[in-house]
Structure 1
Amino acid sequence: MKVTREFYKLPLEEKQKYSNVVDGKEFRMEGYGSDMVISEKQILDWCDRFYLVVEPESQRIYTLWPTQPPSFRDILSEYTARCREITNLVLKNLAKLLSLDKDYFINMLAENTITHARFNYYPHCPNPDQVFGLKPHSDATVITIVFVDDNISGLQLQKNGVWYSVPIILNALLVNMGDVMEIMSNGFFKSPVHRVVTNAEKERLSLVMFYAMDPEREIEPVPELVDEKNPRRYRKIKTKDYIAEIFKTFAKGTLAIDTVKI
């Protein structure tokens, strides 16, 4: 969190060296900036973000990894390795809850899967009742691990139409179910809709690790979890197609998972 804060305090010219807009026009997932704009009517979020591929190591584009602060790269590399240990532990226990082989989900996150780190910066906002830091959405992941700012809350989860603030717990990581886990579990696990609200007085940071499947792999309910009492609740879709759907629905303020429900 310290090096994230130091990065966002750098002059804009320094941060723009890692821009997610190439040659002033082509948007790419990785880099510093804001989310993709696909419509003039799109409601923008009050947030700067910095995306990096952190796994597999062979896919890292180190020219996009900041050299300032100097410790950024080493700390992110270590954090990535530690989070992978937590991810594997969580996935083993989720498989057990479904009476599957303990390595079932771990094996689905094989060598070709890509893990993204997203560094979020939410400046203080003069009109917090008029704009979200991040609009309501659910994650297109298997699971997501979030390191939440311990200075100020802002993350909220929706349940039965009511929004609840996530409490601040020092040095805790939030593990969030993604849409892929909801689909694979045939609805046993739920991918929560969440949002980030802005604050008139304070800025806020978070670091999010997104664990997704191979882009070419198909997402569908695990066959062992489908029977007469538990019919299939989601249709089959390729990971890359679902991620494309996420971009479209997020911009519109709708949910991608609604498009694959049967």
Structure 2
Amino acid sequence: MAPTFDSVNLFDFVVKEGNGVKGMVDLGLSKVPDQYIQPKNERINKINMEAEHMKSLPVIDLSGLDGPQHDQVAESLIKAAETLGFLQVVNHGLPIELLEAIKGAAHLFFNQPAEKKSIYLKGISPTPLVKYGTSFVPEKEKALEWKDYISMIYTNDDDALKHWPDQCKEVALEFLKESTNMAKRILEVLMGNLGVTLDDSMVDAYMGTKFVNMNFYPTCPNPELTVGVGRHSDMGALTVLLQDGIGGLFVKVEEDGDVGRKGEWIEIPPIPGALVINLGDTLQILSNGRYKSAEHRVRTTSTQSRVSVPLFLVPKPDVKIGPLPQLVEKDGGTQYRECLFGEYMSNFFAETHQGKKSLDFAKITPV
């Protein structure tokens, strides 16, 4: 017989006791509990997979940065940053074996019994470097997200190998290092287009905090009623995302162009061996609005459990973020105020997912 939950029992079972959505699904759900049913305007009912959009999504061969195609590849990176805030890259230098290994490690971690995962719950985790949980801010959400996750903060190699979960620490660390090197090259191109030469101090400032998440989206009996992740933009500079072959990532088109009409949601098809790159709020602020952070969300599926592995590259908390001075002078004004990134981050995690509303914290409202 399928289990039934009241609101208190469900919250305790899923969130406080660390069973997660997976633990709930493993009990044999035949329908989605009310606590996960999203308002109609937040549901992802239409899968926008028109052939012309699939052909025009930016898929960029990064190996071209090392040869005569450098300028064309750089132009493609810049165009994607100025329009969709999202791109996929191939020939990025990360071994396919590593990408497969980290997806396998994610399944290995989440398929453990709940008591093995719940040791990393917020408030009781043996280390501040690892946090296991579900949804985004479940204490505040009117409708919960159909997702479990583990987040691993990087300080140094020794700490990672000592404190990160055994099931994934080595491959997660390798993924972090390889992806960071790739992301530096992309940031170098984007900053160069703004008239800034990227040096080590800037890399350390704007990408100095790194953390790897592993997301697990269990099968859902009513995917049309739920979301895996609600619509949001990322807070940092760049996010490197590995998605598996199941699909479900949607990005909102910022302006009319090659990939669709403004306000339209398009699904990003999984490409074997590719990595997804999306810009965060930090780059939109630094560029004085020239670059776009990508508003995105994730649907659920009734067929297979899905994993994704994002690496978030964000500024250090004590770094001030604001439009670059040369852009303010060139643009004749500023769209954003300067603030400490730590303050921006605190505001980001204090609210539920609400599209790109997080940018309002730094946005200057015209008088």
Q: Could you tell me the TM-score, scaled by structure 2's length?
A: 0.63
Alignment check: 8 A CA contact 1:109 1:214 kept: no
CA distance in 2: counterparts of 1:137 and 1:89, whole angstroms:
25
The residue correspondences of 1:1-262 to structure 2 (distance < 5 A) are 1-22=103-124, 30-34=130-134, 35-39=136-140, 41-57=141-157, 60=160, 62-63=162-163, 65-67=164-166, 69=167, 72-103=168-199, 106-110=200-204, 113-150=208-245, 152-159=246-253, 160-227=262-329, 229-251=331-353, 255-262=357-364
Q: Which amino acid aligns with 1:73?
A: K
Task: For residue 170 of structure 2, give the secondary structure of its aligned residue in structure 1.
Answer: helix
CA distance in 2: counterparts of 1:166 and 1:130, whole angstroms:
20
CA distance in 2: counterparts of 1:144 and 1:89, whole angstroms:
13
Task: For residue 239 of structure 2, give the secondary structure of its aligned residue in structure 1.
Answer: strand
CA distance in 1: counterparts of 2:313 and 2:186, whole angstroms:
12
Q: Per-residue deviation at 1:228?
A: 5.8
Stretches of structure 1 that go unaligned for 5 or more consecutive residues are none
Q: Which amino acid aligns with 1:114?
A: T
CA distance in 1: counterparts of 2:158 and 2:290, whole angstroms:
34
Residues 82 and 101 (structure 1), Cα distance of their counterparts in 2 relative to 1, 3 Å cut: same
CA distance in 2: counterparts of 1:115 and 1:58, whole angstroms:
15
CA distance in 2: counterparts of 1:30 and 1:258, whole angstroms:
29
Stretches of structure 2 that go unaligned for 5 or more consecutive residues are 1-102, 254-261
Q: Percent identity?
A: 28
Q: Which amino acid aligns with 2:289?
A: G
Q: Which amino acid aligns with 1:147?
A: L
CA RMSD of aligned residues (A): 2.2
Alignment check: 8 A CA contact 2:230 2:353 kept: no
Residues 178 and 113 (structure 1), Cα distance of their counterparts in 2 relative to 1, 3 Å cut: same
Q: Which amino acid aligns with 2:142?
A: Q
Task: For residue 312 of structure 2, give the secondary structure of its aligned residue in structure 1.
Answer: strand
Q: Could you tell me the TM-score, scaled by structure 1's length?
A: 0.87
Alignment check: 8 A CA contact 1:124 1:201 kept: yes
Between Structure 1 and Structure 2, which shows a larger proportion of strand residues? Answer: 1
CA distance in 2: counterparts of 1:257 and 1:3, whole angstroms:
34
Residues 146 and 11 (structure 1), Cα distance of their counterparts in 2 relative to 1, 3 Å cut: same
Alignment check: 8 A CA contact 2:209 2:313 kept: yes
**2:66 corresponds to:** none
Q: Per-residue deviation at 1:255?
A: 1.7
Q: Per-residue deviation at 1:164?
A: 0.3
Q: Report which of the two structures shows the higher radius of gyration computed on alpha carbons.
A: 2
- CA deviation vs aligned residue, 1:213-233 (integer Å, no higher than 9, x gap): 110111100001112644201
Q: Per-residue deviation at 1:258?
A: 2.4
Q: Per-residue deviation at 1:92?
A: 0.9
Q: Per-residue deviation at 1:56?
A: 3.9
Residues 124 and 212 (structure 1), Cα distance of their counterparts in 2 relative to 1, 3 Å cut: same
CA distance in 1: counterparts of 2:301 and 2:232, whole angstroms:
19
Count how many residue pairs are aligned between Structure 1 and Structure 2.
250
